[in-house]
Structure 1
Amino acid sequence: MLNILRRHTGSWIVKALLGLLILSFAAWGVGDMIRGAAGDRAAIVVGDEHIGPETLRRHFTDDLERLQAMLGGAIDRDTAIRMGLLDATIRRLARQTLLDIEVADNRLVISDPALKAHVAGNPAFQANGQFSRQVFEQTLAANRLNERAYLAGERAVMARQRLEQAVMAGAAAPEVLLTALADYRDEQRRITLLTIDPAALPAPPEPDEEALRAFHAAGQDGYLAPERRSLTYAVLNPEGLAPMMALEEGAVESAYEQRLEQFTSPSSWDLEQILVDSEETAAQVLAARREGRTLAAAAQAAGAPAPVRLEAVGATELPPTLTLALRNQPEGAVIGPVESPLGWHVAEIVGLTEGTVQPLEEVREQLTETLKVERAIERIYEYAAQVEDALAGGATLEEALADLDLETHSLTQVARDGGLADGTRAEDLPPTLLSRAFELPADAEPRMVETETGYLALRLDQVTEARPLTFEEARDRVLADWRREQRLEAADALLAELEKRAGEGADLATLAAETPAASLSEPPPFTRGATLRNGQGPLPQALVGPLFKAEPGALVSGAGPNRRLLARLDEVIVPPARVDDLAPTVTEALAGDLLDQYATALARRHGIQVNQRLIQEMM
């Protein structure tokens, strides 16, 4: 997919994928507001605010990881930069900083209660639908965030959102615009369609040698042997280096103790729980339960909410104080009152699953492998530098790799797309090998190339430049192309003849019946944006566009990739306007336009400078 992505970086498909990531900041006039050069130490300067290169690098890495997640990992850093992701990150940071400046200038403040409610409402911090302090802390730790920095960041995000909401609040889609858009979107055409299949036409007479050579000469650019390269490479990654890693005595045992949680299936409880605001009410519930009433009856007697069933909840999903109270309690025990940030709990254990621990010997092999990979990750840069130094000192690739016991691999006469000279394809290659190999100049020395997962030790052994194929080499392709071209020309002539006869009054059904290569169909009505399948693919836009400008009874002809089409417009269908589903989308678009204009005005007011030289060095 990576090679496909690179070949089609300019296509609308890839641009749309990138747009999903940068939609909120890709069209706000950054071309007008980036000017000048930032200070030597700042990557971006917005007004008096400086954004350092490490901040930009961190945000770019985050954006890249999000894009890779969207694409299944099939994009590397360099391709993302060429697609414009780095520029998009710069725009986003500049826009956020502009809004932060406006927030400060306008003294917009997010209160502590509002921030607390915002954080508590985040599903990532909830257990069983309620905020969990323990889950909150664990989630921050897993993402390497501290609480103070996270809350400050969320407060800033909320303030920016309040400012944006104020700017966008006046957006409303006019009824006349919604009606016009609905009419344009929903208007339909019903046609009768005559399709000519060039492949069903009689075979053209075989060309003589002179005609075939002339056809080859006229289309020489289409008959090229691709550039091919022969190369030798080795993969330097943690998995490959792991067998070399030695572990000191007791390392596995020590790691097992430190990571015991990974090999432990924790206890879990099935609970009936009542949560109330006061200790007094909780005590009343507990007292009634211990008198022999059910928990539901005890809650009703104390005027408390009905109990909630919690199934298979573990320690990480409950408040720490409640977890502590539950430990070592048997099934059937009633716990409470227990205070937590959520209130006062009374809980009954209606089911209990004891935790289990995998013994060391059961996980020793897995843990040993994990530790060796971790050691390899720590040392991979050291090994890569060692190989690079050896290459710089004149060692061959094999000599530089000798101490690492890494296997070298060879590819002979491979094209950029992985095709080999014998017509087969190279399989199971490192994802970025060919793209990096074809980026190197033909006289490049052996070198280490960084990848997403490690390094490639790479040497170009031979470069065969792309060249035109001789007539003899391309003869089979030339003959097939000539035959196809002849059939298409015959189909064009037939289409012109049938269109002329139809214009003179001949019925399309009669014409299709008289023409062996033609077929007739009556597709369902279609809109401007619909893809109409008639058994041979979608109708070409060259046909659809004119049909929406034509009057009923008109004939419209067009060409598809491997067919020729003649359509008669039978009916124009204008259904009642449906604007309800359009209103939110159009209003959102108008609000976005307002926000774009506001951001552009802020950029011109405060000024933005980008240190392109520093950024290029950094990247």
Structure 2
Amino acid sequence: MLQALRNKIHGWPAAIVLGVSVFAVAFFGIESYFVSRVDTYVAKVGDHEISQQDWQSRLNDLRQQFSQDPNSPYKPADLETPAFKQRVLDGMINQALLQQANTDLKLTVSNLDVRQAIGSDPGFQVNGQFSPEAYRAILNMQGMTPAMYEAKIRASLATQLLPQAIAATTIVSDADVDAFFRLRLQKRDLRLVELPRPSLTDTNVSDADINAFYQSHLVDYTTPEQVSVDYLEVKQADLKATAPTDDQLREYYAQNKQRYAQPEQREASHILIEVPKNATPAQQKAALDKAKKIAAEATPENFAKLAADNSDDLGSKRSGGDLGWLEKGVANAAFDTALFGMKKGEITKEPVLSPDEGYHIIWLRDAREGDAKPFEQVRAQLAEDWSKNEGDRLYNERAGKLADLAERNPGSLEPVAKELGLSIQTSPLFGRQGGEGVTADPKFVQAAFADDVVNQGNNSSLVQIGKGDAIVMHLNKHNAAAPKALTDVKDAIRQRILDERVDAMAKKQADDIAAQLTKGGDVATIAKAPVRTLNALERDKLASMKDVAPDVLMKAFSLPHPVDGKPTWTVVRTGNGAYDLVAVDKVTEGDPSKVDKAERDGIRGQMMDAMANAATLDYIKALRAKTEVKIAQDRM
């Protein structure tokens, strides 16, 4: 075929084809013929990709946060639901949209903002002051460097720039606050009539009625699909690591010596003369002249007062510019270079300019040289760290073998159990909503009902139930969804038909009485039931009314005001075929003048927050409408 093509394409046609081919290779790159791109993002916002790793990290952070909060409204299983995962992803998409808007509007977070946010975090403070030692120790436990953490804080602050700007323009007037209190302190005079549940005169339900109801409500009388699975489980808690030998500890110490070292540190104070963003040459010169004047005056004796009087660093000026002990990499590069090039007791003669901040006058008060802690001093910590790492290694190795053997023997768990010395466990039957114990875990349920397991009869892939807990399963029993026999539900259907008849009679009775009352007449006579009067009932005290159904009270305070003294009667269903009649006889507006200033200011703040939040959401919605957002549901 190639020879035939060659014979047919020669001369100038061949030159054109060759030219197009060369152009394609040159334009697209020859590697595009050999390398294919595999997308791995969970969502793509414009050109920004939200990776699976970032998304999982956010979920893990929330999981840890909820587990540490005894008052959290969420349970661990909630985090595995598709709805919750989508909410988390939507939040990350909103953050990406705000960050893109920051770029478009040239809004940035300064190094000063980052430092102040870190310095004001109570988690890094000792006796109310920022502690570099606590900062470093906490970051080490989280496996983060100062640079990594600062980048995280900067990204977090960046997503607040626009919402804060929107909040700063939100105005709540005195009239808005007055309107709120007029409504909140409103009082209403109500009349309530609790209508008795009517009695059926016709209790005959034919077999034809039952059969018709059964056929039209078949989904209500269907036993859901259920499965039972055999499974093998590997738990890290069951894997006991042997005690480390002295040689192992020394080797571990040598490999991780930096974790047990005291880094080089400098105890410093500073005075910051801030340079405004997009400063003019005149503004820059004014800032530099002021910094030079202060540097010329500064001595160890007056430095704290000069900082308190002049520094633009709100986080340190109250403590005389004290920054505490700093390690390399905590401050920006220019500040770091100057600080670690100074001698103890020295004050910079020339101000140090750092980007996005301004001019620093630095006083090096003390210095510590870096040195490693001796092996014997950290031996106990070494043993603890080694054992934890060894436990992780053993678990990962064991779980990996479980996954590998299950994949190589897809038709049964028997060979896997024999190879690993594990016992096959069997779950009870459970549906897609889960059951109890391990079958309550959404990930377990999802794996059990996966097509590969329930239809193909294969072993599942490895399922991480929790940290240090992995499972592989195989179908034991599958019961397809099936309608219950009519004979088994016949009595329940008959009662349900009768209940619906009673409800229909009660609704008609209540509507007829309400229609009569709108024309006038005595309510007690027409309704043939006692009338309850509730005068001056306050809107903000409805929660304390325990003897009136909440639905009745909610409806009563949503009814229109009486016109010409004539109330409008309405019907409220209170459940189990019972209805109440409700009317509003009088409405008294609240008096805002009786509310003290502190409460007014508190409500104003809440209203501003609510309005700012609504405006921010509208802004994000507008950003999303003009930005291409792709979500990979199969990767969630």
TMscore range, shorter length: 0.5 to 0.7
1:123 is displaced (CA, Å) by 0.9
Distance in 1 (alpha carbons) for counterparts of 2:433 and 2:114? 52
Aligned residue in 2 for 1:187: 186
1:227 to 217, 224, 229: 224
Contact 1:532 1:538 in 2 (8 A): no
Distance in 2 (alpha carbons) for counterparts of 1:238 and 1:151? 36
1:437 to 444, 448, 453: 448
Aligned residue in 1 for 2:195: 196
Contact 2:561 2:587 in 1 (8 A): no
Aligned residue in 2 for 1:391: 409
Map 1:498-517; keep pairs closer than 5 Å: 498-499=513-514, 502=517, 507-508=522-523, 515=529
Distance in 2 (alpha carbons) for counterparts of 1:145 and 1:185? 49
Identity %: 16
1:378 to 379, 387, 396: 396
Aligned residue in 2 for 1:349: none
1:401 to 400, 417, 437: 417
**Cα 1:451–1:510, aligned 2, differ >3 Å: closer, same or farther?**
farther
Higher relative contact order (CA 8 A, sep 6+): 1
Contact 1:193 1:566 in 2 (8 A): yes
| CA deviation vs aligned residue, 1:330-382 (integer Å, no higher than 9, x gap) | xxxxxxxxx9x99999xxxxxxxxxxx9x99xxx9x99997875344332441
Match of 2:77, SS state, is coil
Aligned residue in 1 for 2:608: 587
Distance in 2 (alpha carbons) for counterparts of 1:427 and 1:164? 43
**Cα 1:407–1:146, aligned 2, differ >3 Å: closer, same or farther?**
same
**Cα 1:370–1:524, aligned 2, differ >3 Å: closer, same or farther?**
farther
Distance in 1 (alpha carbons) for counterparts of 2:470 and 2:92? 26
TM-score of the two chains, using structure 1 as the length reference? 0.61
Contact 1:447 1:457 in 2 (8 A): yes
Report the AA paired with residue 550 of structure 2: P
Map 1:398-547; keep pairs closer than 5 Å: 398-411=414-427, 413-417=429-433, 429=439, 431-432=441-442, 433-440=444-451, 442-445=454-457, 446-453=459-466, 454-496=469-511, 498-499=513-514, 502=517, 507-508=522-523, 515=529, 520=532, 522=534, 525=537, 527=539, 533-535=545-547, 537-540=549-552, 543-544=555-556, 547=559
1:599 is displaced (CA, Å) by 5.5
1:130 is displaced (CA, Å) by 1.6
Deviates more, 1:433-442 or 1:528-537: 528-537
Runs of 5+ unmatched residues, structure 1: 1-38, 259-276, 282-317, 321-338, 346-356, 420-425
1:416 is displaced (CA, Å) by 3.2
1:575 is displaced (CA, Å) by 0.9
Q: Which runs of 4 or more aligned residues in structure 1 lie more than 6 Å from their structure 2 counterparts after TM superposition?
A: 39-42, 44-47, 277-281, 341-345, 366-372, 600-604
1:217 is displaced (CA, Å) by 3.6
Distance in 2 (alpha carbons) for counterparts of 1:485 and 1:54? 50
Map 1:211-290; keep pairs closer than 5 Å: 213-214=210-211, 216-217=213-214, 219-221=216-218, 223-239=220-236, 242-243=238-239, 247=242, 250=245
Report the AA paired with residue 221 of structure 2: L
Distance in 2 (alpha carbons) for counterparts of 1:496 and 1:196? 11
Distance in 1 (alpha carbons) for counterparts of 2:513 and 2:86? 47
Match of 1:233, SS state, is strand
Match of 2:587, SS state, is strand
Runs of 5+ unmatched residues, structure 2: 1-36, 254-297, 303-323, 327-344, 346-361, 367-376
**Cα 1:252–1:61, aligned 2, differ >3 Å: closer, same or farther?**
farther
1:477 is displaced (CA, Å) by 1.2
**Cα 1:152–1:525, aligned 2, differ >3 Å: closer, same or farther?**
same
TM-score of the two chains, using structure 2 as the length reference? 0.60
Corresponding position: 1:85 with 2:88 = yes
1:180 is displaced (CA, Å) by 4.0
1:211 is displaced (CA, Å) by 6.1
Report the AA paired with residue 498 of structure 2: R
Report the AA paired with residue 591 of structure 1: A
Match of 1:236, SS state, is strand
Aligned residue in 2 for 1:9: none
1:125 is displaced (CA, Å) by 0.9
1:179 is displaced (CA, Å) by 3.9
1:472 is displaced (CA, Å) by 0.8
The structure whose Rg is larger is 2
Match of 1:415, SS state, is coil
Distance in 2 (alpha carbons) for counterparts of 1:185 and 1:510? 35
Aligned residue in 2 for 1:210: 207
| CA deviation vs aligned residue, 1:539-582 (integer Å, no higher than 9, x gap) | 25884476235545332222232221112323212112466444
Match of 1:566, SS state, is strand
Distance in 2 (alpha carbons) for counterparts of 1:119 and 1:443? 53
Aligned residue in 2 for 1:289: none
Distance in 1 (alpha carbons) for counterparts of 2:230 and 2:147? 47
Distance in 2 (alpha carbons) for counterparts of 1:491 and 1:402? 67
Match of 1:407, SS state, is coil
**Cα 1:477–1:147, aligned 2, differ >3 Å: closer, same or farther?**
same
**Cα 1:66–1:531, aligned 2, differ >3 Å: closer, same or farther?**
farther
Distance in 1 (alpha carbons) for counterparts of 2:623 and 2:571? 51
Aligned residue in 1 for 2:357: none
| CA deviation vs aligned residue, 1:414-444 (integer Å, no higher than 9, x gap) | 333457xxxxxx5564523334423547413
Report the AA paired with residue 443 of structure 1: N
| CA deviation vs aligned residue, 1:43-93 (integer Å, no higher than 9, x gap) | 57777x754636644554356537855413222445256644323322322
Corresponding position: 1:566 with 2:566 = no
Aligned residue in 2 for 1:133: 132
Distance in 1 (alpha carbons) for counterparts of 2:156 and 2:141? 21
Aligned residue in 1 for 2:63: 65
Report the AA paired with residue 53 of structure 1: S
1:131 is displaced (CA, Å) by 1.6
Distance in 1 (alpha carbons) for counterparts of 2:87 and 2:66? 14
Match of 2:590, SS state, is coil
Report the AA paired with residue 90 of structure 1: I
**Cα 1:179–1:575, aligned 2, differ >3 Å: closer, same or farther?**
same
1:584 is displaced (CA, Å) by 1.8
Aligned residue in 1 for 2:110: 110
Contact 1:171 1:587 in 2 (8 A): yes
Contact 2:228 2:427 in 1 (8 A): yes
Contact 2:447 2:463 in 1 (8 A): no
Report the AA paired with residue 397 of structure 2: R
After superposition, the CA RMSD in angstroms is 4.8
Aligned residue in 1 for 2:147: 148
Aligned residue in 2 for 1:311: none
**Cα 1:428–1:458, aligned 2, differ >3 Å: closer, same or farther?**
closer
Corresponding position: 1:556 with 2:548 = no
Match of 2:397, SS state, is helix
**Cα 1:387–1:538, aligned 2, differ >3 Å: closer, same or farther?**
farther
Distance in 1 (alpha carbons) for counterparts of 2:185 and 2:481? 50
1:388 is displaced (CA, Å) by 2.6
Aligned residue in 2 for 1:303: none
1:575 to 590, 598, 607: 590
**Cα 1:158–1:375, aligned 2, differ >3 Å: closer, same or farther?**
closer
